[in-house]
Amino acid sequence: MISFNGIFPPLPTSFDDKENLSPEKIQYNIRALSHYPLAGFLILGSNGELVMLSEKEKTEAYHAARQAIPEGKIMLAGTGGQSTRETIRLTAEAARAGADAALVLHPFYYKGLMDKEALMAHYHAVAESSEIPVLIYNMPANSGMDLGADMILAIADHPNIIGLKDSGGNLAKMGQVIGQSKPGFQVLAGSAGFLLPALSLGAVGGILALANIAPDECIQIYKYFLDGKLPQARKLQQQMIPPNTAVTRQWGVPALKAAMDHLGLYGGPARQPIQPMKPETKNKLFEILQHAGIQPIKP
């Protein structure tokens, strides 16, 4: 059984100025962030612009990431596709690249047909065929679907489905899943905005966009919680809410990449039709980072 205890940054995918995949920049960011005591990395999550990449590029990104991730740190790979066949194929590619587990966002294009029976069949087929463990990914902001607790628990019944990344922020639902799931099922907070409340409910860690630019702070919230230093944890959690909001639901991937450029990592462009940040918006972002006390990434 893999332990997902700790903090994982969901890495943005690096593109050059012509929007071509840059494996070297992906590896540069991983090596820079590996100076921090992170539990591992997620490659090709929502912040990784998974839906913008061809299958060939996804495979290349998996391999590039694995080559740079140090021994002892976990590699999670986003492998969710719109068909079961595609998802099985991507999960197999991630396994061949050396991923430790696959994070699978459910199909969402045909929302009206994605009922409990369809999603159970999808996830169980993927898990059955996969050489590596599978985690469920609930991301209503991007998928337009918010998986209910009963559906998550039914999907999680397969022995090779061992965890959940929940980015929805519904803490009552998260608590229900944690309380009623099978032994060993691990839940990860999908946003630094509710990391501490999720930990208090029994989440084992977080896959946090903010951990790309504020790894120290995200790790410290986690450590404060483990050490029982709740006043310090609450204070730092509150401090991190504005920058987390800025690089997630307020301005999204372009803001996260701009913040990375600003703090010494490689952000670069997002793929069109996502537009770059306007200069005045960037300045607002940088003010938020400064006010939160976020420092440049150590080389």
Residues 124-153 as b or e (16 or more Cβ within 10 Å = b): bebbebbebbbbbbbbeeebebbbebebbb
Alpha helix segments (H runs only) across the chain: 23-33, 55-68, 84-97, 116-129, 140-143, 149-155, 171-180, 195-201, 215-226, 230-245, 252-262, 279-291
CA end-to-end distance (rounded Å), the chain: 33
- Cβ proximity of 118 and 112 under 8 Å: no
- Cβ proximity of 226 and 182 under 8 Å: no
Tell me the one-letter amino acid at 48.
Answer: G
Radius of gyration of the chain (CA): 18
165 is catalytic: yes
**Which residues are CB-neighbours of 248 under 8 A, at least 6 positions away?**
191, 193, 209, 210, 256
Catalytic residue selected from 25, 58, 73, 165: 165
Residues 53-81 as b or e (16 or more Cβ within 10 Å = b): beeebbbbbbbbbbebbeeebbbbbbbbb
DSSP letter for 111, please.
Answer: G
Q: At what angle do helices 55-68 and 23-33 cross, to 10 degrees?
A: 30
Phi-psi group of 225: left, alpha or beta (phi > 0 → left; psi -120 to 50 → alpha; rest → beta): alpha
Annotated catalytic residues are 165
